[in-house]
Structure 1
Amino acid sequence: MAAGRYPPRSRSQAPPWRREHGGGGRRRGHDGRPEPQQLGSRRLRAAPARGTAAATGRAAAPRRARANTARAAALACEREDCAGRAGAAGAIAAINISASTSKFLMNVITIEDYKSTYWPKLDSAIDQLLTQSPGDYIPISYEQIYSCVYKCVCQQHSEQMYSDLIKKITNHLERVSKELQASPPDLYIERFNVALGQYMGALQSIVPLFIYMNKFYIETKLNRDLKDDLIKLFTEHVAEKHIYNLMPLLLEAQSTPFQITPSTMANIVKGLYTLRPEWVQMAPALFSKFIPNILPPAVESELQEYAAQDQKLQRDLIQNGFTRGDQSRKRAGEELTYNGSSACASSRGYR
């Protein structure tokens, strides 16, 4: 009693409501619900907590504002950094484009470059091709010449290159024509055959080398073909100037067998027909010996005449040293009557 006003109570002496809830429970009514004053006091006790949270929120608002401001500043810096990087990338791209443009401009072939560097290479190669003999080895790089033509076409020098090519070949053919005019009659046919064969052989190499010029300039803009143009040059500058001197010599050689070799006669006649088919009218009988379907079909009434022509040909062959071979199993004169007429009739298209 001396220690305090009231003596300590044991748990058994505590009020029922305190004993039921372990001493820390709330005061409840008879139905077990908290008494009203307890609820009021709870609300009164909770109110300061909400007020404290609001006060805390108001205190934290400046901090959030400062954080938002810092975040916005960081975002702005990031945007500026990205813009700076984009600007730097654009500048680098512009530098790369400028470098590639300057590199392209460095590879441009000017007209001076074409005349001083590219055309001389083509000129030298054309010279060698036009003057080579059949079977000769030409020490030129076809790949290099082909590349020169390709580059010149890509750099818009096709018109100039075509003009230079035509002029080059024209000058060559004019020299050939003058050499033929100075030839003696006994060498005239042979030299014409050499000039024709040499030129046609050169075209087999020249035309493929200028295929890009032919495709992208001559065919598209001029509506022509390079090979046809080059054949026409030989016709105009050589064949037309010599046809009236050449044809009498060919007819004379035809009447005198083996005055010139059969291969030479065949090459010239076929070549003239290729250059200008209308020249057949100058000597149909001559052209018909080497080109089919030149003369009209044979008729039965002319068989005797054809047989006589074949007999004359066989006699000429014998006089020039050609033998008939083994005639032991043939009757005398059989090949002159039957075989000759039938062969001639077949050659004239007789059915």
Structure 2
Amino acid sequence: MEAMEDDSSEVKDDHNHNYCGGKVRAALSSQVPDGVGAPEPVCPTVPGGEPAKRQAKPWSGSPRGSKFMDSDTGSESSEVSEPDCSAASTEDKFRLDSTSKFLLNAMAIEDYRKNHWPNLEEAIDRLLIQNFSDHISVSYAQIYGYVYKCVCQQHSELLYSDLTSKITAHLQQVSTQLQASPTENLIENFNIALTQYLASLQCIVPVFIYLNKFYIESKLNRDLKEDLMKLFADHVAEEHLSKLMPLLIKAHSMPFQVQPSTMASVVKGLYSLRPEWAQLAPALFSSFIPQIHPPAVESQLHDYADRDRKLQMELSMKGFPRGDQSRKRASEDS
């Protein structure tokens, strides 16, 4: 009991309740040699060869940036701060994260090239070269699933580039085949190529709707179908327009030289590709598409009547009779 009382008498409580008795201070001071300060924490070397800065202020036992009171004198000491070792560790962590992201991205692209795109490419080929008389078994749900995964894995730009490149290569082959087509069959073969391409888009555009919604519309401010139609206009229609347009005008002046359904399909198809092409042959396009000509004006009614009489005369000279008008009047009178 006396020993305990002796020990307790050595413990003094200052006004900040810092208990530091004389024996405790003596024990601590005896363990540290004279002239040697408190050990400093070792900071990792900052990339670039420069070590992190170290501050030789003693540890206060209080949070960083706080002030403490000396247990003996009660005086307020200056503010201290712990060594800042976070800069090096943060930069090292950033480098590790960047490397990890790069490796993961490379692995994801490799997976796209080996697994996703080959399956999509095969399906696109089958849709582009399909024969309407053949039954093609294509799993649209599977294609949509591949597209969904590619978009979710941040491959939208790569997928869009591969899709347009694939269709462009196909259209260039179609254009080459049309160049080898005989002149008298150009209208018919062009109609077949356009009709088949439009039918393919009816299958391709819906399964790529996720790509269209979350990349083409949101980031490119365009539409997938419009882009694919533009590809046909650039690589097929425009390449053969100089030969195709005179043939259409000639066929229009000689009725039934080309089937009316084929004429209507080609003219309407050209107008859907680029409406400005209608200005190359307004009379031709106005026969199949309304409102090509400007609205009628009352002051030009006489001109319209003259054009109608001229047209009737031309048809009569080409062997198209106007009919027995006397019999028609006699039937009306009766």
TM-score under structure 2 normalisation?
0.61
Query: Kindly tell me: are residues 167 and 213 of structure 1, through their superposed partners in 2, closer, same or farther at Cα, counting changes over 3 Å?
Result: same
Whole-Å Cα distance in 2 between the matches of residues 328 and 300 of structure 1? Answer: 27
Give 1:197's aligned residue: 195
Query: Kindly tell me: are residues 194 and 149 of structure 1, through their superposed partners in 2, closer, same or farther at Cα, counting changes over 3 Å?
Result: same
Whole-Å Cα distance in 2 between the matches of residues 228 and 173 of structure 1? Answer: 15
The answer to whether structure 1 residue 164 and structure 2 residue 124 are counterparts is no
Shift of 1:308: 4.2
Q: Aligned ranges for residues 167-246 of structure 1 at < 5 Å?
A: 167-246=165-244
Whole-Å Cα distance in 2 between the matches of residues 311 and 187 of structure 1? Answer: 31
Q: Secondary structure at the match of 1:156?
A: coil
Determine if contact 1:257/1:316 at 8 Å carries over to the other structure.
Answer: no
CA deviations on 1:71-103 (whole Å, 9 max, x unpaired) are xxxxxxxxxxxxxxxxxxxxxxxxxxxxxxxxx
Give 2:258's aligned residue: 260
Shift of 1:315: 8.0
Query: Kindly tell me: are residues 311 and 202 of structure 1, through their superposed partners in 2, closer, same or farther at Cα, counting changes over 3 Å?
Result: farther
Determine if contact 1:214/1:225 at 8 Å carries over to the other structure.
Answer: yes
Q: Secondary structure at the match of 2:147?
A: helix
Whole-Å Cα distance in 2 between the matches of residues 278 and 311 of structure 1? Answer: 31
Shift of 1:219: 1.2
Question: What amino acid sits opposite 1:145 in the alignment?
Answer: I
Shift of 1:205: 0.9
Give 1:303's aligned residue: 305
Unaligned runs of 5+ in 2: 1-103
Give 2:291's aligned residue: 293
Q: Aligned ranges for residues 32-47 of structure 1 at < 5 Å?
A: none
Shift of 1:236: 0.8
Aligned length: 224
Question: What amino acid sits opposite 2:211 in the alignment?
Answer: M
The answer to whether structure 1 residue 152 and structure 2 residue 177 are counterparts is no
Shift of 1:128: 1.2
Unaligned runs of 5+ in 1: 1-105, 335-351
Shift of 1:304: 3.9
Q: Secondary structure at the match of 2:294?
A: coil
Question: What amino acid sits opposite 1:218 in the alignment?
Answer: I
Question: What amino acid sits opposite 2:242 in the alignment?
Answer: Y
Determine if contact 1:109/1:155 at 8 Å carries over to the other structure.
Answer: no
Whole-Å Cα distance in 2 between the matches of residues 333 and 124 of structure 1? Answer: 67
Determine if contact 1:218/1:225 at 8 Å carries over to the other structure.
Answer: yes
Query: Kindly tell me: are residues 140 and 109 of structure 1, through their superposed partners in 2, closer, same or farther at Cα, counting changes over 3 Å?
Result: farther
CA deviations on 1:217-249 (whole Å, 9 max, x unpaired) are 111121211111111111111111111111011
Question: What amino acid sits opposite 2:204 in the alignment?
Answer: I
Query: Kindly tell me: are residues 227 and 305 of structure 1, through their superposed partners in 2, closer, same or farther at Cα, counting changes over 3 Å?
Result: same
Q: Secondary structure at the match of 1:330?
A: helix
Q: Tell me which protein shows more helix as a share of its residues.
A: 1
Q: Aligned ranges for residues 1-351 of structure 1 at < 5 Å?
A: 110-134=108-132, 136-298=134-296, 299-301=300-302, 302-310=304-312, 312-313=314-315, 330-331=328-329
CA root-mean-square deviation: 3.0
TM-score under structure 1 normalisation?
0.58
Whole-Å Cα distance in 1 between the matches of residues 318 and 261 of structure 2? Answer: 18
Whole-Å Cα distance in 2 between the matches of residues 233 and 333 of structure 1? Answer: 57
Query: Kindly tell me: are residues 121 and 333 of structure 1, through their superposed partners in 2, closer, same or farther at Cα, counting changes over 3 Å?
Result: farther
Q: Secondary structure at the match of 2:256?
A: coil
Query: Kindly tell me: are residues 297 and 306 of structure 1, through their superposed partners in 2, closer, same or farther at Cα, counting changes over 3 Å?
Result: farther
Question: What amino acid sits opposite 2:305 in the alignment?
Answer: L
From the CA coordinates, give the structure whose radius of gyration is larger: 1
Whole-Å Cα distance in 2 between the matches of residues 134 and 265 of structure 1? Answer: 21
Shift of 1:305: 2.8
Whole-Å Cα distance in 1 between the matches of residues 319 and 126 of structure 2? Answer: 41
